Amino acid sequence: MDDGKRALWTKAVSEFEQSKLSQREFAEQRKVELSNLRYWIYRLRNDSRPLATEKKDPPPAPEQRPAKAPDVGSRLVPVRVVASAAPKARQGEEGGGLLELALPSGARLRFPIGTDPRYLRELAAAL
């Protein structure tokens, strides 16, 4: 692979991660194909992760884990899941009885009312 091309995309992905823009907005602003931006985001993030075959210590039990500070490049936002005081009143609104988890990328995950809040917290933490 051309090292110059990789260096350009490394810089672009870094600037994207520091921006407050969606992938689509960033690609339009830079006049690059959205698919190319997504490819390089995936590739560079994947290259920076350790291989699954590397031996690691087992993770500590949940009650022993220290609170983690957010990663510098993280684009996730804190989410607090609360039960609705009036779930039937929400039936007529858009989404018709669904809980919605909105991600910074613009993606939305919908769950039926009554989904276990612990599951949603764990899912949000994993994303």
Identify the pLDDT of residue 90. Answer: 47
Asked if residue 65 lies in contact with residue 59, where contact means CB atoms within 8 angstroms, the answer is yes
Amino acid 78 reads P
Those residues with Cβ within 8 angstroms of residue 19's Cβ, 6 or more apart along the chain or in another chain: 26
pTM, 2 dp: 0.39
pLDDT, tens digit, 9 for 90 and up, residues 4-46: 888 899 999 889 888 888 999 999 999 999 999 999 888 888 8
Of 105, 125, 102, 79, nearest to 19 by C-alpha is 105
